[in-house]
Amino acid sequence: MKGNQAMRVLLSIAVVLVLLALDWAALHDILKGEPNPYGEYGMLVFSAIVFGLLALAGLRKRDRTRTVE
């Protein structure tokens, strides 16, 4: 079970790093005056949703471990 948990943590870290890189690129395009920024705004909204889901999953997991102990 420990290996599975480590793999989930690594996958979560990888997802966060990729999303941060894409957000950085999207913000750069928006600030530089991209003529059609809707794709960049869509990327920011999508990543905000994913970050929210990851945060909720982390809070639920933390809550479950507190009740078990």
**Residue 46 belongs to what domain range?**
2-68
Mean pLDDT to the nearest integer, 38-58: 94
pLDDT at residue 53, as a whole number: 93
pLDDT higher than threshold 90 for residue 5: no
pLDDT higher than threshold 70 for residue 67: no
- Tell me: the pLDDT tens digits for 11-42? 989 999 999 999 999 999 999 998 999 999 99
> Distance (Å, rounded) from C-alpha 65 to C-alpha 69?
6
Number of domains in the chain: 1
Beta strands in the chain (DSSP E): none
Residue by residue, DSSP assigns 1-31 as: -HHHHHHHHHHHHHHHHHHHHHHHHHHHHHH
Confidence of residue 2 (pLDDT cuts 50, 70, 90): confident
Name the one residue in this structure whose structure tokens are 């966060």: 16
